[in-house]
Amino acid sequence: MLGLYIAPLIIATVRDHHRLPWIGLLNFAGGWTIVGWIAALVWSVTAKCEPVAVMPIGGTALRTAQLARVSAQAEIFRSDRKAPRR
C-alpha cells in the first residue's frame, strides 16, 4: 500500500522531474485524499520542461556574433579594394 501511496514521487524521481520537491510535498501533504494523490500523479507524468537559459543583453554570445559580422564585412571590403578595376 505504501508503494502505491508514493507512486507519484517514485515516478517523478525516475523521470528526473524538475519539480520533484513540489510533487513530493503535494504527495505527502495532500496524497491521503484521492484528489491530492491524482494531482500529484498527473503532475509527475507531465512533460518535464527544462528551464530556458537566458543570455543577458550584451552578453558574450551577442558580442561574438557582432564581431564576426563586422569581421566578415571588413574582409569583403578589403577584397573589393584589392580587385583590379577596369
Per-residue pLDDT of the chain (86 residues; tens, 9 = 90+): 888 889 999 999 998 888 889 999 999 999 889 999 999 999 999 876 666 666 565 555 556 666 677 677 666 666 666 656 55
Q: Which amino acid is at 65?
A: A
Secondary structure string (H, E, C) spanning 7-42: HHHHHHHHCCCCCHHHHHHHHHHHCCCHHHHHHHHH
**Neighbour count for residue 15 (Cβ, 10 Å):** 14
- Residue found under cell 584589392: 82
- Whether the pTM exceeds 0.75: the reply is no
DSSP code at position 72:
H
